[in-house]
Amino acid sequence: MEVPIAKSLSDIYPQDAVESQTRRWNNLIKTFKESYGKLPDFVSRSPGRVNIIGEHIDYCLYEVLPMAIEADVLLAVSVHDQEPGPSTVRLTNVHQQKFESKEFDIPDTGDVHIDSSTLEWTNYFKSGLSGATELLRKKRKDFQQSVGMNILADGTVPSGGGLSSSAAFVCSSALAVMRANGEAKIDKKELVELAIVSERAVGVNSGGMDQSASVFPLQGSALYVSFVPELSAKNVAFPELKSPLVFVIAQSFVAADKHVTAPVCYNLRVVEVTLAALVLARIFGIKQLPSDAGPLGVSLRGFHDAYFQEKEGIKNNHTVSKAEFRDQLQSLVEKIDHYLPQEEGYTRQQLSEILGMSIDEIETKYMKKFPIRADRFKLRQRALHVFGEAIRVLQFYEHLSTNPPKDEKENAELLKALGALMNDTQDSCRDLFENSCPELDELCQLARSAGAYGSRLTGAGWGGCSVHLVPIDKVDKVKRKWVDEYYLRRFPDMTEEKLKEAIVVSKPGSGSCLLEVH
């Protein structure tokens, strides 16, 4: 499947957004002309995403269900004709005051140096550029160095907010570099895979959900993303409903940027779920966990598949039915309950005894790649969340795949069932995975009290965004509740502008695309 070339903005945005997006587009083109004295050759676009359900399980290689949102990153680009010597890249941003312009040369080697110790907005472009350069070298034996470019960026995905601003930027950058170097047809899967590798280069070891949800989606559908046996994505259309599914996204405004919380939180969870896989393999006598795409080389999914292969002779566990897979997960939840009873986290010493490895070996193999600080590792809670969450994703998927409700009553029952799964995810994130925070818990409680069917944090958590499934006739009531009892109370001097950014009603949007500029 190729990245489409949009003929007009109504190919990309929902009808009621076309007018405002046209104004934004005209401003982008005008500002580009002012900055670089000519029209851009093309614009590359990649949206942010909201994860509907399936939290912190993508790097465990379990399926997730995100959707693209309207907010996105637009990169207007003009290509330098290739003069000999280093090619220059100029980057400016429509939000001049926030993101200062940058210029850098791509050396003759074509290699791009990324200093991921600084939180430079252009690092995301550089990571997309280095990923695309690598892919182009694979595709063309003589490819060495990308052409130079003049770029104007306009991003509307709030950063550090759990809506994958980073993935949107990396994907739109990689797409721009591929197009600037003459790739007419760009395969979506190749683009996602290069974006996943690129984003890891800027220091966050993401699972791959964000990049998939930014590139693959078709308008009006959610995306069922699978990571085994390899990355794949399937559009899942929402059923035609009398009262449509409205997802409302609310910012907590608690800064959850993973570059800040990562050493303490996000990457610690990656270590904990990896250790859980290793310990479970040991407990159930699985000699060798298969190495897989997990950020640290093994995953709970890898343990899951190895367990059923060894205990029930299921050679290729990727071919079992969703119902059978769910039963397997349910049986794993019961096993954890019994075999991983320790509530307080496991110490390095205990891990060393269970795994038969020295503490030094465990640290070198699993705690060096991403710096973490912890004395105990809560294997039980993290594994219970992951297996339970994988079950909820399957249940949510099944609800979406049943035939559409035939009357209001069935319609409401479907929305209630979807919402209940989202509420269960929030409870599991709060109590087992411990990646919520009081502000997110409050936003969820307020929304439910005002009529939301389901409310949960979305993205990494520890702040950032929440997502709510709200009956269309309750949206205003939910917004009012938040403004009165959350935003104005916690941020009394919040401007109207900021409030507008706080709450976003989002319909399932379309993924990456290119736009020609005439």
The answer, yes or no, to whether the previous bond of 158 is cis (omega within 30 of 0) is no
Q: Does residue 411 interact with Mg ion by CB under 5 A? A: no
Nearer to ligand NG1, 51 or 123 (CB): 51
d(CA 120, CA 303): 38
User: What is the spatial distance between Cα 165 and Cα 83, in angstroms, rounded to a whole number?
Assistant: 33
Asked whether position 133 contacts Mg ion by CB under 5 A, the answer is no
* DSSP conformation class of 317: G
Specify whether the CB–CB gap between 71 and 47 falls below 8 A.
yes
Amino acid at 455: S
For residues 200 and 335, which CB has a smaller minimum distance to ligand NG1 in the complex?
Answer: 200
With CB cut-offs between 5 and 8 Å by kind, which of ligand NG1, Mg ion, none does residue 59 bind? ligand NG1
Q: Minimum distance from CB of 125 to ligand NG1 (Å)?
A: 16
User: What's the min distance (Å) between Cβ of 314 and ligand NG1?
Assistant: 27
Candidates 2-10, 137-145, 199-207, 424-432 — which segment interacts with ligand NG1 by CB under 6 A?
Answer: 199-207
Residue 38 beta carbon to Mg ion: minimum distance, rounded to whole angstroms: 33
Task: List the structure tokens of 351.
Answer: 């891990």
Which ranges of 313-378 does DSSP label H, i.e. alpha helix?
322-339, 348-355, 359-366
Name the E strands within 378-512: 454-458, 465-470, 503-506
Q: Which is nearer to ligand NG1, 59 or 224 (CB)?
A: 59
For Mg ion, the binding residues in 147-176 under the rule CB under 5 A are: 164, 166
Q: Give, as one character, the DSSP assignment of residue 154.
A: E
Nearer to ligand NG1 by C-beta: 146 or 205? 205
Which residues in the 401-460 window bind ligand NG1 by CB under 6 A?
459-460
Cα distance between residue 194 and residue 20, in whole Å = 32
The correct pick among 45, 126, 258, 382 for binding ligand NG1 (CB under 6 A) is 258
Considering only 45, 55, 168, 294, the residue that binds ligand NG1 (CB under 6 A) is 55
Residue 146 binds which one of Mg ion, ligand NG1, none, with CB within 5 to 8 A depending on kind? none
- Which residues neighbour 358 within 8 Å (Cβ) at sequence distance 6 or greater? 352
Residues 453, 420: Cα–Cα separation, whole Å = 7
**CB within 8 Å of 356: residues ≥ 6 apart:** 282
| Residue 204 is a binding residue for ligand NG1 (CB under 6 A) | yes
Q: Which does 294 bind (CB under 5 to 8 A by kind): ligand NG1, Mg ion, none?
A: none
**199 near ligand NG1, rule: CB under 6 A:** yes
To ligand NG1, the closest distance from the beta carbon of 264 in angstroms equals: 14
Residue keyed to tokens 């078709």: 218
Q: Does 389 participate in binding ligand NG1 (rule CB under 6 A)?
A: no
Question: Least CB distance from residue 224 to ligand NG1, whole Å?
Answer: 15
* Residue 388 touches ligand NG1, criterion: CB under 6 A: no
* Residue 272 makes contact with ligand NG1 by CB under 6 A: no
Report the greatest alpha carbon distance in the chain: 69
Question: CA nearest 258: which of 60, 425, 464?
Answer: 464
Residue 351 makes CB contacts below 8 A (sequence gap 6+) with 275, 279, 357, 359, 362, 377
Active site residues: 210
The tokens describing 321, both together, are: 């039915």
CA-CA distance, 459 to 17, in Å (whole number)?
24
How far is residue 71's CA from residue 399's CA, in Å, rounded to a whole number?
Answer: 27
Q: Is 372 in the site for ligand NG1 (CB under 6 A)?
A: no
Please give the residues from 129 up to 188 whose contact with ligand NG1 meets the rule CB under 6 A: 162, 164, 166-167
Which lies closer to ligand NG1 via its Cβ, residue 58 or residue 63? Answer: 58
Q: Which is nearer to ligand NG1, 66 or 405 (CB)?
A: 66
- 376, two tokens: 């105990």
Closer CB to Mg ion, 146 or 252, in the complex: 252
Q: Which helix (H) or strand (E) holds 233?
A: strand 232-237
d(CA 304, CA 288): 13
In sequence order, the 6+-apart residues with CB closer than 8 A to the CB of 139 are 183
Decide whether 92 or 261 has the Cβ nearer to ligand NG1.
261
Closest CA relative to residue 238, chosen from 389, 405, 390: 405
Structure tokens of 286? 């699985």
The answer to whether the beta carbons of residues 241 and 410 sit under 8 Å apart is no
Least spacing, CB of residue 321 vs ligand NG1, in Å = 25
Residue 248 CB, nearest approach to ligand NG1 (Å): 17
The answer to the question of residue 44 lying near Mg ion (CB under 5 A) is: no
Binding residues with ligand NG1: total (CB under 6 A): 18
Question: Which range touches ligand NG1 (CB under 6 A), out of 56-64, 81-89, 299-307, 362-370?
Answer: 56-64
Given candidates 87, 206, 212, 466, which one binds ligand NG1 under the rule CB under 6 A?
206
- Residues near ligand NG1 (CB under 6 A) are 51, 55-56, 58-59, 162, 164, 166-167, 199, 204, 206-207, 209-210, 258, 459-460
- Residues near Mg ion (CB under 5 A) are 164, 166
